[in-house]
């Protein structure tokens, strides 16, 4: 009965996020993970393995709420520094502008626009599907995955508060760079305007100046870091290709500068290093008895050479 109540509490938080029903009163909805924590307290107290799911869902939930306030704290919104960096690196060009000027036509939405939009949208599914897959394989790996994901998004949140940064499409709207469109809007309205309106109302985040670092890129690249530790070359190749396609899509769609993408990768790499330094693969991160999968994962770590 308690496990059912715990699962229900997670389902409620996921539904609130997926439907966007929290947006009118975000402060009020911040009480939801606190209420959910009451149901999860026995599992948290006993450090049960499934409590990492509460940390994962609850952590993402609170992050999403707090991100909505990151542009309302008084720090000036930044536009020019990213443009200056890109122009310095790319010989006076901004990759988003160059790509769209070459490949995009507002009057004719093509397969590239639809494909890039689909890759962008996969962000709302793939990292969470990967979390479920990792959980089924190893509770210890899942715990480290949760810590890396949460460490990354909250590090990003701090930057959002301190250095709120405008994405390319918004910089273009303000006249700071040449024409750069938000291609997702063109694709959505072209496929089904009403469906897109509903999806945008549910999934679009109310803070448009949280561009650096790119969380889209960071949580995509965390899959590369995980795959690398599995020693599976095919899996590493798939995740690396997916990350590369995501990076190009984010820049092409006008959602992020190339700088934002690189910043996202650097943040997740730094967090991943910290997590695995503090909790190496041979450490019992769960605090209780290891399950078979965790023991197997530990066996994959090379033994320290004799001194």
Average pLDDT of the residues of the chain: 86
Domain assignment present for residue 304? The answer is no
User: What backbone phi and psi angles, to 5 degrees, belong to 165?
Assistant: -125, 135
- Do residues 184 and 143 share a domain? yes
pLDDT single digits (tens) 223-267: 999 999 888 899 999 999 999 999 999 999 999 999 999 999 999
All residues at 6 or more sequence positions from 178 whose CB lies less than 8 Å from its CB, including other chains: 94, 97, 101, 172
Residue 222 and residue 149 in contact, taking contact as beta carbons nearer than 8 Å: yes
Task: Indicate the residue among 48, 68, 88 that finishes a domain.
Answer: 68
- Do residues 16 and 48 share a domain? yes
Round to whole Å and give the CA distance between 188 and 120. 12
Per-residue confidence (pLDDT) for residue 298, from 0 to 100 = 41
- Do residues 149 and 272 share a domain? yes
Q: What is the pTM of this model?
A: 0.86
Per-residue confidence (pLDDT) for residue 202, from 0 to 100 = 55
> Considering only CA atoms, which of 93, 67, 120 is closest in space to residue 177?
93
Residue 288 and residue 47 in contact, taking contact as beta carbons nearer than 8 Å: yes
229: burial class by Cβ within 10 Å (0-12, 13-18, 19+)? middle
Domain assignment present for residue 222? The answer is yes
Domain assignment present for residue 305? The answer is no
- Do residues 178 and 143 share a domain? yes
Task: Indicate the residue among 68, 91, 123 that finishes a domain.
Answer: 68
Q: Which residue range is the domain that position 215 belongs to?
A: 73-299
Domain assignment present for residue 84? The answer is yes
Per-residue confidence (pLDDT) for residue 299, from 0 to 100 = 37
Below-50 pLDDT ranges, the chain = 288-307
pLDDT single digits (tens) 81-125: 999 999 999 999 999 999 999 999 998 999 999 999 999 999 999
DSSP letters spanning 282-297: TS-TTSS---HHHHHH
Per-residue confidence (pLDDT) for residue 130, from 0 to 100 = 96
Per-residue confidence (pLDDT) for residue 283, from 0 to 100 = 56
- Do residues 49 and 103 share a domain? no
- Do residues 271 and 288 share a domain? yes
- Do residues 101 and 227 share a domain? yes
Residue 77 and residue 166 in contact, taking contact as beta carbons nearer than 8 Å: yes
């Amino acid at each position: 009965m308690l496990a059912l109540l715990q699962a229900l509490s997670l389902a409620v938080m996921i539904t609130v996020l997926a439907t966007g029903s929290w947006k009118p009163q975000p402060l009020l909805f911040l009480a939801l993970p606190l209420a959910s924590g009451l149901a999860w307290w026995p599992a948290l107290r006993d450090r049960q393995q499934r409590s990492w799911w509460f940390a994962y869902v609850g952590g993402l939930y609170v992050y999403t709420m707090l991100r909505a306030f990151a542009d309302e704290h008084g720090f000036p919104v930044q536009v020019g520094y990213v443009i200056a960096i890109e122009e310095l690196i790319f010989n006076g060009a901004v990759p988003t502008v160059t790509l769209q000027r070459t490949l995009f036509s507002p009057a004719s939405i093509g397969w590239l626009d639809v494909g890039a939009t689909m890759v962008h949208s996969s962000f709302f599914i793939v990292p969470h599907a990967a979390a479920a897959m990792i959980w089924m394989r190893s509770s210890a790996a899942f715990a480290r995955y949760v810590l890396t994901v949460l460490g990354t998004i909250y590090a990003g949140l701090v930057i959002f508060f301190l250095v709120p940064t405008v994405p390319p499409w918004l910089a273009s709207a303000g006249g700071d760079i040449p024409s750069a469109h938000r291609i997702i809007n063109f694709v959505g309205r072209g496929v089904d305007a009403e469906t897109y309106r509903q999806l945008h109302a549910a999934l679009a985040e109310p803070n448009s100046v949280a561009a650096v670092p790119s969380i889209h890129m960071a949580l995509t690249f965390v899959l590369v870091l995980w795959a690398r530790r599995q020693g599976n070359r095919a899996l590493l190749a798939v995740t690396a290709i997916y990350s590369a396609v995501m990076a190009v899509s984010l820049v092409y769609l006008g959602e992020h500068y190339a700088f934002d993408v690189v910043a996202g990768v650097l943040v997740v790499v730094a967090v991943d290093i910290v997590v695995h330094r503090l909790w190496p693969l041979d450490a019992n991160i769960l605090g209780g008895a290891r399950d078979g999968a965790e023991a197997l994962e530990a066996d994959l770590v090379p033994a320290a050479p004799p001194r």
